[in-house]
Amino acid sequence: MQCCKKEDPAKGAKRPGAKRLKKLLLIGNPNVGKSVIFGHLTGQYATVSNYPGTTVEVSQGNALIKGEQYVVVDSPGVNSLLPMSEDEQVTRDILLNDDFDSVVQVADTKNLRRSLLISLQLSEMGIPFVMALNMADEAEQAGIDTDIPALARLTGLETISATATRRKGMNKLREIVSNPRNSTLTIKYSDRLEAAIANIEPLLPDSRISRRSMALMLLGGDTSLRGWLHGTMEDNAVDELAILVKESQSGFNEPLGYVINKERLSVVDGVVKYCQTQLERPTGGVRSWLGAVSMHPVWGIPILLVVLYLMYQFVGVLGAGTMVDFMEKTVFGKLINPYAVKFFESVLPVEFLRELFIGQYGIVTMALTYAVAIVLPITATFFIAFGILEDSGYLPRLAIMVNKLFRLIGLNGKAVLPMVLGLGCCTMATLTSRILETKKERVIVTLLLALGIPCSAQLGVIMGMLSAISPVATVIWSGVLVGVIFAVGYLSSKIIKGDASDFMMELPPIRLPKLKNILMKTLGRIEWYIKEAVPLFILGTLVLFTADKMRLLGMMEKAASPLVVGLLGLPEKATAAFLIGFLRRDYGAAGFFALQKQGLMTPVQVLVSVVTITLFVPCIAQFFVTIKERGLKTAVGMLAFIFPFAILVGAALHFSLDLMHVTLQ
């Protein structure tokens, strides 16, 4: 989720007559603090977390640096400018397609080796840049001493040291951004490789990046560049290039991408050796101990259980219990709703209009009560808990614990990131699926998110409903859900063509979450929730209100009766809940919650409704993001599967509970 401006301010600036804004790009390895620096420069918050791949989209913001207006662009982290996943491709394509007045490479001081691998590639591309060596504090703690002037001499770049989380070095960075240079850090590859480059280079078109760097990308096996080449060259010239690349590869035993990186690393190693000294490395520490036990094959499991228990206490008990109760009964029940009733009764003389606000399907009494009293406390507590998890560095370690399990459904442990994020909001999570390497994995994760992962809002309402009936219901609900996710995941991993990718994931250090970042992140996410959900809640209420007033609701209930009453065994009134469930699943769940509270549903009906609505169609926003990420055909296909499937599972549950005479009292 991004709360920054999405429009491209520079586009406007290109209009003739308008003053052109300078553009500045932040680039670097994943999880080195680009988004923190972006926040300091622009004063806008971009989501900051402690795992690689937090930023999957480009965010832009304005900054005033030394009296000049800049548009600052924050890019997804890359380990190589030869992209291996969609988020990495986003960054490479920016370099290919956009002009920048300045580029800042953000580097992790303690991982200088991997940072210089990027520097070398920027240098090859012929892009002038400056260098910010971030995380100086952590490098110091690890006993790494860096000779910055020496590094600056070797690279020929303006270089500063920074600890962005403590705002250290930000002024120095502002001083140097206007002075990007071409790096003097260059590499002459082995003769055979240079010969291959020389063969390809002359055939390539001119562009923003050097032909040499493009030749290296092609040799390295970059297929994503082909689309771009087709746009600038004749088709047969592109084919000719492909043949040349193939021929070059055949002269080597190892993949060329690997050969190129090996040779780059040997240059980089020399530089690192020259300007960094490893002093005594302090061993242990609570954080590294925590990091180790949280992914231990035995101790990792109790730790996971403790994490889940704490989350349940915080989100389930405090958020969904105490806070919802307080908001619903005291704030809305005793204060807002009575006041609103009085207010609208005195200002609106017409009964029809009054009902629009305070009736059974009223904007205040239904939409706002649901959104603010029931859903908001749950989402807020979930996002706080999730933010702590994100910033601690626990999530990638969780990925290790579930890797084997996820293998069964054609994914690897890395997919736990979008899936857990989906428990917050599936729309955001659908975007995050970009961090996965293969198309197959992205499709499976998108499908599972759309089908079976309840978002925090929905989860909270469901927990509220289930807590009122037998605990067996909760067991059945979670059993059905896990079963469905694994069954559908397993089958789709067999049906969808393609490969699962390797599990190869970087583990960030365990860090103490910063309260300020958690709050900023949670506020940003709540703001976004309110903007996205509340209008839909109001829209849904208006639909119900209109349908009710025009006596359509009754007709719809009749029409849907075979489905709702016959197959699912729910009361006719449940049709309304399904209707708004088409807009948002959590709103649909809230509708069932209300029915349950009015005593209109038996425990078995509660369980069936909860299972069906959990699996129900994704919310509108998620559907649109799915279209954007996976294409219209795939998105519609998923929808066409999910709707009947949800009803089918609900019906199966209804009939089997019936057959076994389960009452769940």
Partner 1 sequence: MTPEEKKAAAIKITQEIVDEFLESLWLIDERGKKEKGNKSALCAVVVDEGLVADASQAEVVLMDMLKAGHIEVSGEDVSFRPGGREAAKALIRRKRLAEKLLAEVFELGPSEIKASACRFEHILSPEVTDSVCSFLGHPPTCPHGKPIPQGNCCKKLSHNVKPLVVPLDDLDPGSKGRIVFISPKDHGRMDRLSTLGIVPGTEITLHQKKPAFVIRSGETELALDPEIAREIYVRQIG
Q: Are 446 and 638 in contact (CB under 8 A)?
A: yes
Report which DSSP code applies to 569: -
Distances 643 to 452, 481, 636 between C-alpha atoms, Å: 12, 15, 11
Please, what is the minimum distance in Å from the beta carbon of residue 296 to partner 1? 7
Nearest CA to 445 among 480, 493, 390? 493
Backbone angles phi, psi at 59, to 5 degrees: -115, 150
In this structure, are residues 552 and 429 in contact, taking their beta carbons and an 8 Å threshold?
no
Stretch that binds partner 1, among 225-233, 376-384, 394-402, 601-609 (CB under 8 A): 394-402
20 touching partner 1, by CB under 8 A = no
CB 389 → partner 1: shortest distance, Å? Answer: 17
Dihedral in degrees, nearest 10, Cα atoms 363, 366, 367, 372: 120
For partner 1, which is the closer residue by CB, 213 or 369?
A: 213
Q: Which of 237, 292, 317, 523 binds partner 1 (CB under 8 A)?
A: 292
Distance CA 22, CA 70 (A): 5
Residue 278 Cα distances to 146, 147, 274, 331, angstroms? 9, 12, 11, 59
Footprint on residues 179-208 left by partner 1 (CB under 8 A):
192
Does residue 174 touch partner 1 according to CB under 8 A? no
Using the rule CB under 8 A, is 166 a contact of partner 1? no
Judged by CB under 8 A, does residue 498 bind partner 1?
no
Residue 266 sits in the site that holds partner 1 (CB under 8 A): yes
Q: Are 73 and 24 in contact (CB under 8 A)?
A: yes
Which position among 7, 206, 254, 280 is part of the footprint of partner 1 (CB under 8 A)? 254
Question: Binding residue for partner 1 (CB under 8 A) from 189, 252, 314, 645?
Answer: 252
CB 509 within 8 A of CB 553: no
Figure out which of the listed residues 262, 273, 597, 628 binds partner 1, where binding follows CB under 8 A.
Answer: 262
Which residues from 85-114 bind partner 1, rule CB under 8 A? 108, 110-111, 113-114
The arrangement of strands across the sheet holding 22-28 comes to: 59-65, 68-74, 22-28, 102-108, 130-134, 159-161
User: Which DSSP symbol is given to 3?
Assistant: -
Site for partner 1 contains 220 (CB under 8 A) = yes
Interaction between residue 285 and partner 1 (CB under 8 A): no
Residue 267 as a binder of partner 1 (CB under 8 A): the answer is no
Tell me: does residue 507 bind partner 1 (CB under 8 A). Answer: yes
* Of the candidate residues 43, 251, 471, 483, the single one contacting partner 1 (CB under 8 A): 251
- Is position 412 an interface residue for partner 1 (rule: CB under 8 A)? yes
509 part of the interface to partner 1, by CB under 8 A: yes
Q: Does residue 297 touch partner 1 according to CB under 8 A?
A: yes
**Tokens read off for 131:** 């260098």
Do the beta carbons of residue 641 and residue 443 sit within 8 Å? no
Say which DSSP state 5 is in: B
Contact segment (CB under 8 A) with partner 1 among 10-18, 69-77, 257-265, 589-597 equals: 257-265
Contact by Cβ (8 Å): 418, 436: yes
Q: Are strands 144-146 and 68-74 parallel, antiparallel or unpaired?
A: unpaired
Taking CB under 8 A as the criterion, the residue among 58, 217, 295, 451 binding partner 1 is 295
Does 307 sit near partner 1 (CB under 8 A)?
no
> Among 203-211, 317-325, 505-513, 615-623, which window interacts with partner 1 (CB under 8 A)?
505-513
Residue with tokens 């000294």: 277
Under 8 Å between Cβ of 396 and 508: yes
If the CB atoms of residues 231 and 297 are measured against partner 1, the closer one turns out to be 297
Taking contact as CB under 8 A, which single stretch among the options 263-271, 561-569, 570-578, 626-634 is the one that binds partner 1?
263-271
The binding site for partner 1 (CB under 8 A) comprises 79-80, 82, 84, 108, 110-111, 113-114, 117, 138-139, 142, 144, 192, 220-221, 251-255, 257-258, 261-262, 265-266, 269, 291-292, 295-297, 300, 396, 399-401, 403-404, 412-413, 502-509
